[in-house]
Amino acid sequence: MAQKASKTTTAATGTTRKADRPRLLLLDGHSLAYRAFYALPVENFNTATGQPTNAIYGFTSMLSNTLRDEAPTHLAVAFDVSRKTWRFDEYPEYKATRSATPDEFRSQVELIGELLDTMRVRRFAIEGFEADDIIATLATQAEAAGFEVLIVTGDRDAFQLVTEHVTVLYPTKGVSELTRYTPEKVEERYGLTPAQYPDFAALRGDPSDNLPGIPGVGEKTAAKWITQFGSFAQLVERAEEVKGKAGQSFRDHLEAVKLNRRLTEMVRDVELPVGPEGLVREPYDRAGLDVVLDALEFRHPNFRERLYAADPGAEQDAQAQVAAGVEIDGRVLGAGELPAWLAEHGTDPLGVATVDSWALGAGTVTEVALATAEGPAAWFDPAHLVEEDEKAFAAWIADAGRPKVMHDAKGAMRVFAEHGWSVGGVAMDTALAAYLIKPGRRSFALDVLSVEYLGRELEHAEEGGGQLAFGVEDGAEAEKLMAKARAVADLAEVFAGRLEQDGALGLLRDVELPTSVLLARMERHGIAADRDHLERLERQFADAVKQAVKEAHGAVGHEFNLGSPKQLQEVFFGELGLPKTKKTKTGYTTDADALAWLAQQTDHELPVIMLRHREQARLRSTVEGLIKTIAPDGRIHTTFNQTVAATGRLSSTEPNLQNIPVRTDEGRAIRRGFVVGEGYESLLTADYSQIELRVMAHLSEDEGLIAAFTSGEDLHTTVGSYVFDVPKDAVDAEMRRKIKAMSYGLAYGLSAFGLSQQLAIGPDEARGLMDTYFERFGGVRDYLRRVVEEARVTGYTETLLGRRRYLPDLNSDNRQRREMAERMALNAPIQGSAADIVKLAMLRVDAALTEAGLRTRTLLQVHDEIVLEVAPGERERVETLVRDEMTAAYPLRAPLDVSVGSGGDWESAAH
């Protein structure tokens, strides 16, 4: 009798694993992907380019969970090639009743394959056979070779493979729960052994495979017959012994049942290029997997953490980290110990991590950790620093010759200033570096980057206003923060190589890092707010909302909830019988575009009222948000974001200043609430005129467009004269409007259809307008073609300063994804170059103000506009300085043009 195998228990599931046997995990790719496709709503899983990803997400989630729970040593995934297999040759009606594969699913199978390739998972697809047959062959070979085998599939026919060493994991709830089918479980469920299961299945039939059952014979009868006669073969041989109508029905359909039995049996000797021994799991291709996951926009930290935690290479990384952790001289520094530690380690690049808080223009640091890439680390509480500690740290943190590495250096610089510490010598910001390497990702959190690039998970410190959760004596929180500082230092080394490879080190050093220093100061400055004015506006917009509600009720004749899509649908399309809009999952849409369309299609006043109601409600919300963010110093301290827009543009939050309309009366009224602060004379605004179009002229080198800029005349009138072939004084307002829309549309990748929608003209007229434009400005046409084709080859576009935007979908077989990527390829170099120039301009202006010894300071950067607060007696000098520095920010062929204005509030300073 063979010796019984020893067993271990996996932590995640409590399932037993035979410790002396290798473990092979086999997955039925199509089966599991189909389950995921129908378990997860496709409308909730799409990339920005329209590629559905629900099947990919569900499949990958199931895979990562199973890898975590089962810890296989070997792994493979099998796929069907097509429905035309040996079973189809024998029975042409096999699976004939199945509906056509949805296009949304078909496009995802190839991407699942790409993802598995980067995970270095062997996948099989053999012409003429189904995935079942491949799995049966590998399972049979593996069991004979001494493996333990796990099969994940949604096909119950796999139960015939179950043995003491082969287990089927069958999805029983979407893609989140798997039931383990052992020999005991199969017998408990069906009253049969696994070897008897195909006999049972032949009698039962399978509607999903279009295998007919026996009329009048259900699962219970089929199981009873197999139990009674022992096997299908015996049942056939003794068919006359089966009594009653069911027995006669069996005999009447005997040939069909025999065919079922042949088709249900899995093939166990498919010729495969490699056997079980060749399916050893290998470490992921992390760089390749990053690219695939980013292209699929799978950015949720938990999703990636689970997937990366299952990387066979992660164990090696974890072991290396543990060893490094032992070597780290992690010390909680007491009073007077910081100077000596900095003297010993402060000349090396140090990772800096903090626990701090910032709100309404004020903040504090409650913990600081420092770490070298080699290991030594230290932690201290700023509240416990004695004078010699304070002096040593202030000198070190300010010293430009002592390199520091931070994650979101801007946030640290902003709050360090609250303690009187000036930060200098930031050699690397790992958040900004990650952004330059992959600008399209959503999360730049340190813990996410650590998992992806270091294979290292960071524990989250307990929240609580920066206070130690367990006390300093425990050291647990200090250890966590030192681990973060170490991760920052290690990431810096990884990112430096990547940035140098991409040619982006200069962009980080010369643009992004200096910009973060300036933004930290701008956030601390804030801008003064007129609370009384804003509160009056809030009441005005609130009254307008109430009035719109009253008018809407009056227009319909009864009260209804203007915020309820369901009630709006009933009113618009039921009671009023207005034209149907675009159909969605929840009914006909009543979004802003639909309301605008309805306002054009009908004379009923409700769509117009609803548009006004939503606009006034949005304005009220904007002003409410502004009032809430007024700090005790009477100023609004917005937070600028450098890593949100993939093009390099800055955005802002708390409050979002880009939400304020620029060209409406209401927007102008809101901007009047931003005023000059005490001790200053006025606000000064400066922005670039038509910067995107000037960049487009520069990049295209189109002589006609460049000449239009250098003529000194109105650009759109001049271009309109060329396009419509009329004298400049004959270009009317409508012509100019069309030219302006088209010119900016080209810079933003607008299609002829998009232009037709924007101008409310026919697609043919829009296409003709673009064709005429390109006839006159052939350089623009050639550039737009060239930039897409070059990006198709390289995989990315670049700005004038080398900022890259990666666009893998340019070569996609999916037309919608490809066209979206093409539009991004058209606008990324133009918008990104404009964003880079604005940053250069900000830096030049700030440097010039400092060099001139002026007190005027920069407060805001919104869209292409810079807002400064001018000190008394400096306005004329500052205006000249700003014009000169912004104009010289970058040498374009179509020279930069700057407009400047000043006044007591933001709106009055407009120009």
167-176 pLDDT per residue, tens: 999 987 655 5
pLDDT band at 95 (very low <50, low <70, confident <90, very high): low
The pLDDT value recorded for residue 310 is 85
The pLDDT value recorded for residue 324 is 41
Separation CA 71–CA 92 (nearest Å) = 41
pLDDT greater than 70 at residue 11: no
Of 837 and 81, more confident: 837
pLDDT greater than 80 at residue 627: yes
909 neighbors 675 (Cβ within 8 angstroms): no
Identify the DSSP state of 387.
Answer: H
pLDDT band at 12 (very low <50, low <70, confident <90, very high): very low
Q: State residue 23 phi and psi, 5-degree precision.
A: -120, 120
475 neighbors 450 (Cβ within 8 angstroms): no
264 neighbors 211 (Cβ within 8 angstroms): yes
Question: What is the β-pairing status of strands 23-28 and 148-152?
Answer: parallel
**20 is written with which tokens?**
């002396």
Worst-scoring range by mean pLDDT, 11-15, 259-263, 559-563, 770-774? 11-15
Worst-scoring range by mean pLDDT, 51-55, 323-327, 842-846? 323-327
SS3 state at 652: strand
Top-level class of domain 7-191+267-286: alpha beta
Task: Kindly provide the residue ranges of all beta strands, DSSP E only, lying in 82-154, ordered along the sequence.
Answer: 122-124, 148-152
* 898-903 β-sheet, strand order: 857-862, 865-870, 682-688, 898-903
The pLDDT value recorded for residue 535 is 96
The pLDDT value recorded for residue 892 is 94
Q: Which of 35, 643, 66 is nearest to 299 (CA)?
A: 643
Separation CA 491–CA 500 (nearest Å) = 14
Separation CA 637–CA 793 (nearest Å) = 44
* Cα→Cα distances 544→106, 136, 823, 899, Å: 50, 70, 39, 34
CA-only gyration radius of the chain, Å: 34
pLDDT greater than 70 at residue 46: yes
Please compute the mean of the pLDDT values over residues 857-881 and round it to a whole number: 95
Please compute the mean of the pLDDT values over residues 855-881 and round it to a whole number: 95
SS3 state at 598: helix
Please compute the mean of the pLDDT values over residues 62-69 and round it to a whole number: 87
The pLDDT value recorded for residue 474 is 46
CATH 3.40.50.1010 domain range(s) in the chain: 7-191+267-286
Separation CA 772–CA 765 (nearest Å) = 10
pLDDT band at 253 (very low <50, low <70, confident <90, very high): low
The pLDDT value recorded for residue 176 is 59
Cα of first residue to Cα of last residue in the chain, in angstroms, is 94
Residues 6+ apart with CB under 8 A from 640: 410, 519, 522, 523, 650, 651, 652, 861
**724 is written with which tokens?**
């419509």
Percent of the chain with pLDDT over 70: 86
pLDDT greater than 60 at residue 119: yes
pLDDT greater than 50 at residue 825: yes
Q: Cα angle vertex 543, ends 542, 549, to 5°?
A: 95
CATH 3.30.420.10 domain range(s) in the chain: 311-526
684 neighbors 902 (Cβ within 8 angstroms): yes
pLDDT band at 506 (very low <50, low <70, confident <90, very high): very high
The pLDDT value recorded for residue 92 is 64
**90 is written with which tokens?**
């024998």
Highest mean pLDDT among 146-150, 256-260, 780-784, 810-814: 146-150
Q: SS3 breakdown of the chain: % helix, strand, coil, rounded to 5?
A: 55, 15, 30
Residues 6+ apart with CB under 8 A from 497: none
Separation CA 584–CA 3 (nearest Å) = 63
Provide the residue count of the chain. 911
Residues 257-296 pLDDT 10s: 777 677 777 888 888 988 999 999 999 988 888 888 888 8
Please compute the mean of the pLDDT values over residues 377-398 and round it to a whole number: 93
* Cα→Cα distances 375→360, 484, 747, Å: 37, 12, 49
What does the CA dihedral 216, 222, 224, 230 come to, rounded to 10 degrees? 140
**367 is written with which tokens?**
């913990």
CA 196 to chain centre: 49
Highest mean pLDDT among 232-241, 321-330, 785-794: 785-794
Separation CA 502–CA 831 (nearest Å) = 20
Residues 655-666 pLDDT 10s: 988 888 888 899
Please compute the mean of the pLDDT values over residues 867-872 and round it to a whole number: 97
Q: Which of 141, 142, 174, 171 is nearest to 156 (CA)?
A: 171
Mean residue pLDDT across the chain: 84
Please compute the mean of the pLDDT values over residues 581-598 and round it to a whole number: 83
> What's the pTM?
0.65
Please tell me the CATH code under which domain 311-526 is placed: 3.30.420.10
Residues 334-359 pLDDT 10s: 999 999 999 999 898 999 999 998 88
CA 257 to chain centre: 51
Please compute the mean of the pLDDT values over residues 885-894 and round it to a whole number: 95
Cis peptide before 655 (omega within 30 of 0): yes
Residues 703-754 pLDDT 10s: 988 988 888 778 888 888 878 888 888 888 888 888 888 788 776 767 778 7
Please compute the mean of the pLDDT values over residues 48-70 and round it to a whole number: 85
Residues 6+ apart with CB under 8 A from 765: 756
Separation CA 41–CA 160 (nearest Å) = 32
pLDDT greater than 70 at residue 1: no
**359 is written with which tokens?**
């709100």
Residues 6+ apart with CB under 8 A from 114: 292
